[in-house]
Structure 1
Amino acid sequence: MKVAFVGKGGSGKTTMASLFARRAVDAGRRVLAIDADINQHLAGAFGLSEGEAARLPKLGEHLASIKDYLRGDNPRIASAEAMLKTTPPGHGSRLVDVACSATVMRDLTTPVAGLRLAVTGGFTEDDLGVACYHSKVGAVELILNHLVDGDGEYVVVDMVAGAEAFASGMFTRFDRTFLVCEPTRRSVGVYHQYAEYAAEYDVAISVLGNKIDDAEDVRFLQSHVGEALLGWFGRSGYVKRAERGEPGPIGELEADGLALLDRARDLVDIGGKDWGRFTRQAHEFHTRNALAWGNGRSGVDLRDQIDPDFIMGSSVVAA
């Protein structure tokens, strides 16, 4: 299952993503965690020092090799350079998995806290003033388009803050999106904006309240997000220690927090996976990007990269 964590900057989405991922590992599940935020903090949430995090391989710096691998011998794709961030897989494409068994994924991910971690990478000195962060996130979108996740496997993505996620079709790549929401007008405003944009794309959204002090905070969230509110986290000594760089075993998290993480994972599992929808949405957003800018840049109709007879999913792996 593919799971996204979004929310206003500072809401605690990175913390919640790390807790969800670590609890899934604790339950015996296989997890691939991806930091796709402009502010790269997920590695620290898993206990890596700043120096260790800085040395992690960056997906955004290896886009060419990622494209070259995923292209495989797909006859619809003339070259790796012709691939957009939205290019969907087809017959002949190479796929990747949560175990990162492909060499390109093994080399670009790092084992930590019982899972594998990939990071997009932040801005470099050469990027400042001239580069768009979404060009880096394009590596994540391509990987998600080509990634097959099976039973008991989770891809957990810490997304960009706010509504920035809608600058690409990546917001449709997930089986469940958790929006982390503080009891403030700005935070619930991000929820309403996200829900409005996502409504027509059948995106499953649940709200996790965070930094809840009392019943009044809960009532505030309930009045603004309604049934989307799955539960909430109060002030946590465990989280406070983790944010100071001292994350303990996940079993030491307060009982209420553990129960909420388990409910969240159960909700993801119950929701199931729709590979047909996943494929249709990949085709839709690739068509949009081709018509908006890709065709003009390349001089060819990149909609021809869509393989209408290829439905992404575990069945193609078996075949």
Structure 2
Amino acid sequence: MKIAFVGKGGSGKTTLSSLFVRHLAARGTPVVAVDADINQHLGAALGLDESESAALPALGAHLPLLKEYLRGSNPRIASAEKMIKTTPPGEGSRLLRLQEDNPVYDACARAVALDGGDVRLLATGPFTESDLGVACYHSKTGAVELLLNHLVDAREEYLVVDMTAGSDSFASGMFTRFDMTFLVAEPTRKGVSVYRQYREYARDFGVALRVVGNKVQSADDIDFLHQEVGDDLLVTFGHSDWVRAMEKGRPHPFAELEDDNARSLAALYETADATYELRDWGRYTRQMVHFHLRNAESWGNEKTGADLAAQVDPSFALGEGPRKAATPQPA
């Protein structure tokens, strides 16, 4: 299952991402966590100290390795240099599984010990001084998009991505790569503005979206969120002494998380798990191809000097079982 946490900067999406990762680990569910935000804080939220967080390898810096590994023996891809962030898999491509060992995880993932066991953590890498004025942050998150395009995941295993803040998530097709997107919103007008943008952008692509209210202090806050987002509101989180202690570097056992907040995490899991029945690998593949062709025409062909539309294998559809050709349909 592929889960995204999005929201306005400062809404608490990184905190809730980390709590959901802990909830999964406590259940014994295999989980890979990805920090894809321009501000890299997921490692710290999962308990790493400053030096440990700084030592995380940058996934974006290993993009050549990722491309070469995923390319495999796909005859439609002449070289790793001809791959872009949207390149879809085809016959001969290597696919990724969440619980396997492979060179990409060896180079880029680090184990983080939580109450329920170790989880794998990947980080895109921070926006550095050398990037200023010459690169956009989406050049880094492209590594995550490529990973998602080649990932074959099952029901009782999770990839949880802490996405970049605000509507920047829509600067790529990555927003369509998830089974469930949880939008974290504070009970303020600014807090729900990102929800409105996300709802409008996501509607045409069938993105499953639920709102998680955060920093809720009263019944009036809950009423406000209900009025603004309606039935999309799933659960709310209030003040947490457990989180505050964690942020002070004085972590308590996860079992001591407040009951209300623990129940909200359980509701997130139940909602995410239920989306498995709605999973449509054919649509997933068509959307992948849709965004690849758009990127190829917009900038990819010129950058690589190749016709990247030729990378699309029309007989290939990503999926857990035997692969069938993807029926041509609108994305």
**Percent identity between the aligned chains?**
57
When the two structures are aligned, how many residues end up with a matched partner?
A: 317
AA in 1 matched with 2:59: L
1:240-255 → structure 2 map (5 Å cutoff): 240-255=244-259
Provide the aligned C-alpha RMSD in A.
1.1
C-alpha deviations, 1:152-190, integer Å up to 9, x for none?
100000000000000000000000000000001011001
SS for the counterpart of 2:68 is: helix
User: What TM-score, normalized to structure 1?
Assistant: 0.97
The question of 1:91 aligning with 2:91 is answered yes
Distance 1:299 1:46 in 2: 42
Q: Paired residue for 2:327?
A: none
Distance 2:227 2:251 in 1: 33
1:1-319 → structure 2 map (5 Å cutoff): 1-112=1-112, 113=114, 114-272=118-276, 273-316=279-322
Contact 1:47 1:246 in 2 (8 A): no
The Cα of 1:256 is off from its aligned counterpart by 1.0
Contact 2:82 2:306 in 1 (8 A): no
User: What TM-score, normalized to structure 2?
Assistant: 0.94
AA in 1 matched with 2:272: V
The Cα of 1:106 is off from its aligned counterpart by 2.5
SS for the counterpart of 1:211 is: coil
Q: Paired residue for 2:329?
A: none
Distance 2:38 2:239 in 1: 26
Distance 1:184 1:21 in 2: 26
C-alpha deviations, 1:2-48, integer Å up to 9, x for none?
00000000000000001111101111100000000000000000100
Distance 1:247 1:83 in 2: 43
SS for the counterpart of 2:128 is: coil
SS for the counterpart of 1:123 is: coil
C-alpha deviations, 1:275-294, integer Å up to 9, x for none?
11111110100011011111
Distance 1:178 1:65 in 2: 31
Unmatched tracts of structure 2, length 5 or more: 324-331
Contact 1:98 1:153 in 2 (8 A): yes
SS for the counterpart of 1:177 is: strand
AA in 2 matched with 1:169: G
The Cα of 1:100 is off from its aligned counterpart by 4.3
Distance 1:36 1:164 in 2: 11
SS for the counterpart of 1:189 is: helix
The Cα of 1:62 is off from its aligned counterpart by 0.7
Distance 1:88 1:249 in 2: 42
Distance 2:233 2:198 in 1: 14
SS for the counterpart of 1:188 is: helix
SS for the counterpart of 2:321 is: helix
The Cα of 1:316 is off from its aligned counterpart by 5.0
The Cα of 1:234 is off from its aligned counterpart by 0.8
